Amino acid sequence: MNDVTIVGSGPTGLMLAGELALAGVDVAILERRSTPDLVGSRARGFHSRTIEIFDQRGIVDRFLAEGQTAQGLSFANTSLNVSGFPSRHPYTLGLGQSHIERILLGWVEELGVPIRRGLEVTGFAQDDAGVDVHLADGGPLRTAYLVGADGGRSVIRNVAGIEFVGAEATRSHLIAEVEVTEETPAGIRLDGVGIHAMSVMEDGRTVGIVVTEQQIGPATEPTLADLSEALTAVYGTDFGAHDPRWISRFTDAARQAAAYRSGRVLLAGDAAHIHPPTGGQGIGLGVQDVVNLGWKLAQVVRGVSPDGLLDNYHAERHPATARVMRNVMAQALLQRGDARTEAMRDTISDLLGFEGPRAQLAGLLSGLDVGYDLGEGHPLLGRRMPDLDLTTAHGPRRVFELLQDARPVLLNLGEPGSIDITPWADRVQHVDADHTGTWELPVIGTVPAPVAVLIRPDGHVAWVGDGTQTGLSEALTTWFGQPAKKDVA
């Protein structure tokens, strides 16, 4: 029996596998695709916080070496430049999803996680001690915990009976790669129906197409005839489209699972939330989900924390994603070319000329403003820990380097040795360090320098010290379990 079985080896499932493997959990992935190849193109990149998370795990250079950095954030056609934000990665990384998955897969394989391909999960049954996972062929397989990272049409979510709540689709788009016999117009076209775009691909022959359909298409797989019809309605010709490499359909539906957990079963990534691809938020949300979930699940599996800690995953990630989804829905609505929508876009663009609104939206869409509700206190509490330059007894270090093993850190910037966390020393790294310079948070600005911080494995601050240890034991117990008992001689 595995401790954790993940269904799906998309970006979400792979990242979770890496997190659990780092925490020493026995984890396996079940994947219905028989090879790692991804059919068609989906994501084309991700934003600052996701890049930071990969930096926290020491794998960011693998992505940076293959992608293109750019100021890629926008709201309703107004560019949102994040280069002024205090982050080592104030940009978007352009990189196709097949490359993202290949890089993550390489990391997960180095960590020794088995990926069982060609296995389609059809359902599960859970009891007090574990979960039986049902497969289309063979099985069942027994696991202590099951995570559905199986995409927007998640079988795990459906079988768990978890409601998928939100806005119905109001329009649908076809996305395709085809050959053509006529020259195609490059770039984006907006009309009263929606957004349409074409670009010739690297081979110089194939054209990548996104076209909004005149009416919402059915939930079945689209055909070349559907594509021709949609193109002709917009451009007056189908450009002689033929030999499709693939055709797919997506909609502007935006739905979120009402619960991210049902007993021993959890949901993450697109299985927990779907929304239009506008603004490229999908991969980042899935990665942030599982970097939040991974260490909590690992501690529950290892008996370090009670299983109630898993409810905190929903409590933190559900509202964080709901905020982003609200914004994405608004952006998708503004993807039309009629006069009223243009007037609204222009009005918003005027407002985004002011620093306050611009910073708010840029903070949200880059993921750099993400913070969890850990109660009143210092502005750092619950927010992402900045990647400060530190001086330690072992030489210069960056904060993110301390997080590479996905273990919590008590960072003491006061008198060395002035904080005692001996009862948690088996779980929490204790680092004495110096930092000179200001503490700056995106959107918020400069904050008072703390004397110590307790940093969770996901890079969020769980406690801020003012020179005393007030509240530290409670924070350590809440997040990292009961203190170890002293050996009785």
Report the interface residues with ligand FAD, using CB under 6 A: 7-13, 30-33, 42-46, 97, 120-121, 149-151, 155, 175, 250, 269-270, 277, 280-284, 286
DSSP state for residue 422 in the 8-state scheme: G
Residues in Cβ contact with 169 at an 8 Å cutoff, skipping those fewer than 6 apart = 216, 251, 252, 253
Query: Least distance from C-beta 70 to ligand FAD, angstroms?
Result: 12
Calculate helix-pair angle for 11-22, 97-110, nearest 10 degrees: 20
Query: Least distance from C-beta 167 to ligand FAD, angstroms?
Result: 17
| Cβ pair 294, 20 in contact under 8 A | yes
Strand segments, DSSP code E, in 216-320 are 242-251, 254-257, 261-262, 265-267, 273-274
Secondary element (H or E) of residue 330: helix 309-333
Measured from the CB atom, the residue of 57 and 427 that comes closer to ligand FAD is: 57
Measured from the CB atom, the residue of 157 and 427 that comes closer to ligand FAD is: 157
- Residue 143, strand partner residues: 2, 131
Query: Least distance from C-beta 272 to ligand FAD, angstroms?
Result: 8
Residue 156's φ and ψ, nearest 5 degrees, are -60, -45
Residue 90: cis peptide before it, omega within 30 degrees of 0: no
Measured from the CB atom, the residue of 249 and 456 that comes closer to ligand FAD is: 249
- Encode burial over 296-309: b for 16+ CB neighbours within 10 A, e otherwise: bbbbbbeebbebeb
Query: Least distance from C-beta 3 to ligand FAD, angstroms?
Result: 19
Measured from the CB atom, the residue of 305 and 331 that comes closer to ligand FAD is: 331
Measured from the CB atom, the residue of 150 and 226 that comes closer to ligand FAD is: 150
Query: Least distance from C-beta 282 to ligand FAD, angstroms?
Result: 2
Query: Least distance from C-beta 60 to ligand FAD, angstroms?
Result: 16
Measured from the CB atom, the residue of 249 and 296 that comes closer to ligand FAD is: 249
Query: Least distance from C-beta 232 to ligand FAD, angstroms?
Result: 21
Distance CA 319, CA 170 (A): 24
Measured from the CB atom, the residue of 76 and 431 that comes closer to ligand FAD is: 76
Task: Answer left, alpha or beta for residue 437, where phi above 0 means left and psi between -120 and 50 means alpha.
Answer: left
Gyration radius of the chain over CA positions: 24
Distance CA 287, CA 14 (A): 9
Question: In the structure encoding, which two tokens stand for residue 409, read together?
Answer: 């850190």
Distance CA 431, CA 150 (A): 38
Measured from the CB atom, the residue of 146 and 455 that comes closer to ligand FAD is: 146
Residue 166's φ and ψ, nearest 5 degrees, are 155, -150
Measured from the CB atom, the residue of 29 and 380 that comes closer to ligand FAD is: 29
Residue 111 to residues 56, 106, 146, 165, 287, Cα–Cα distance (Å):
16, 9, 20, 36, 17
Query: Least distance from C-beta 45 to ligand FAD, angstroms?
Result: 5
Query: Least distance from C-beta 415 to ligand FAD, angstroms?
Result: 44
Measured from the CB atom, the residue of 46 and 439 that comes closer to ligand FAD is: 46
Distance CA 459, CA 448 (A): 19
Query: Least distance from C-beta 46 to ligand FAD, angstroms?
Result: 5
Query: Can you tell me whether residue 326 is helix, strand or coil?
Result: helix
